[in-house]
Chains A and B, each alone.
Chain A
Amino acid sequence: MANPSITRVLLNAAKVLIGSKLVSLRGAADDFFTLGKSGDVGGGIKGVQGDVALFDSENNLWIQTFTLIQSSAAIGTILRVKATERTFPIAVEYNDFTFNGFGVVQNEGEVAASLGTMTRTIVLALAYQSGNVTTGIGETLA
């Protein structure tokens, strides 16, 4: 029997750096971010005679959704970079997972004066340039 695969994930290792200065975003809520390709990358089309064509595509447009504490420094960091640079460099580092590219703010989220809503969701649209995105997160221990 094969040895077990042992990996670990440290959530604190998830880093997002944005802007020309590559400032680290601080102030993640329970969920820091999700990052995925925009839309499906493949699919199929069927015909009435039972024929099928499969297709897939290259897609370098990614969507990153942040869940931030309403009072977090990251909100100011993102909105200042948006105001000054419009399109900005971004690096996402999560141990083995690495994403380097450029981004814009797709949705700024909203301020909430509410005891029930202590988080703010900000959405970025990212262009992938380099990095290892064909791996899971975390580190392989054995």
Chain B
Amino acid sequence: MPALLGRCIGYLPGAMSFTSKVLFGSVANAQMTGRDYGDNESLMADRFFSAYTAEGPRGSHRFGYTPNGEFVDRPWLADYATYLAQVALVQWMQLNDITAYDDVTILGGRNVLARAIASLPAVNASTLVVTFLTRAQVDPNDIALRVYKYYATFADTNGIINQIGTLAEPIAINLKDAG
């Protein structure tokens, strides 16, 4: 798994999928040889198991699951989006002489968030919505405490194809002799 991470993590979420990657090193010991799991591949999907298989037969990584059943790029995307939003918001607050608790500044923060999230290739930027509350709508205690926690970001991701065809529903290839 560390080698797979090394192969993939240098890209932005949405620019790289964890499936169908092969690890061929220059030395024999670094080369992965995929096994043919045959019908047992369906068990791997059922049990959220990632492995290098002989699919192809190219010894590539399949499924891209984490042990809890999530696809591995999802926490990657979520963590990186959180990181980008944090960096962008802190950078903006550093630039500001003052980040005033007013509606114009709240709109500004909304734009900072939108730009940070939209910069990810995984995100379909045109679907991005950042909701917010105006100063008049927030809890007065939060104004006293100098906390603003009323942004919410919604966006569709473009999605990833991890496998094409399944054992149960293989791709139909119909050929016939001309006659």
To the question of whether A and B form a pair in one complex, the answer is yes
Question: Please, which residues of chain B bring their CB within 8 A of the CB of A49?
Answer: none
Instruction: State A89–B88 Cα separation when bound (angstroms).
Output: 12
CB-nearest residue of chain B to A100: B114
Distance in angstroms from A55 CB to nearest chain B CB is 20
B81-119 interface (Cβ within 8 A of A): 92, 95-96, 104-105, 107-108, 110-112, 114-115, 117-118
CB-nearest residue of chain A to B128: A130
Main secondary structure of the interface of B (DSSP, over half): helix
Stretch at the interface among A19-27, A63-71, A72-80, A104-112: A19-27
Given A100-B118, A129-B118, A130-B118, also A22-B129 (CB < 8 A): no
CB-nearest residue of chain B to A89: B115
A80-130 interface (Cβ within 8 A of B): 89, 91, 93, 100, 129-130
Question: Please, which residues of chain A bring their CB within 8 A of the CB of B104?
Answer: 15, 17, 24
Distance in angstroms from A14 CB to nearest chain B CB is 11
Question: Please, which residues of chain B bring their CB within 8 A of the CB of A100?
Answer: 111, 114-115, 118, 128
Asked if A129 and B115 sit within 8 Å, CB to CB, the answer is yes
Distance in angstroms from B96 CB to nearest chain A CB is 6
Interface status of B23 (Cβ within 8 A of chain A): no
Instruction: State A24–B92 Cα separation when bound (angstroms).
Output: 14
Question: Please, which residues of chain A bring their CB within 8 A of the CB of B111?
Answer: 17, 22, 89, 91, 100
Distance in angstroms from A48 CB to nearest chain B CB is 39
Partner of B107, one of A17, A89, A132: A17
Partner of B108, one of A91, A130, A132: A91
Given A100-B114, A100-B118, A130-B118, also A17-B108 (CB < 8 A): yes
Interface residues of A, count at CB 8 A? 14
Partner of B114, one of A20, A21, A24, A130: A130
Interface status of B126 (Cβ within 8 A of chain A): yes
Asked if A22 and B112 sit within 8 Å, CB to CB, the answer is yes
Instruction: State A22–B97 Cα separation when bound (angstroms).
Output: 12
Interface status of B125 (Cβ within 8 A of chain A): yes
Asked if A93 and B107 sit within 8 Å, CB to CB, the answer is yes
Instruction: State A129–B110 Cα separation when bound (angstroms).
Output: 14
Distance in angstroms from B121 CB to nearest chain A CB is 13
Given A15-B104, A130-B118, also A21-B92 (CB < 8 A): yes
Asked if B125 and A129 sit within 8 Å, CB to CB, the answer is yes
Instruction: State A54–B136 Cα separation when bound (angstroms).
Output: 49
Question: Please, which residues of chain B bring their CB within 8 A of the CB of A131?
Answer: 114, 128
Instruction: State A22–B118 Cα separation when bound (angstroms).
Output: 17
Instruction: State A17–B96 Cα separation when bound (angstroms).
Output: 13
Question: Please, which residues of chain A bring their CB within 8 A of the CB of B108?
Answer: 17, 21-22, 24, 91
* A–B Cβ pairs within 8 angstroms, 5 of them: A22-B92, A91-B107, A100-B115, A129-B118, A131-B114
A residues lining the B interface (CB < 8 Å): 15, 17, 20-22, 24, 89, 91, 93, 100, 129-132
Top 5 A-B residue pairs of the complex, sorted by shortest distance between their CB atoms: A22-B108, A91-B111, A130-B128, A130-B125, A130-B118
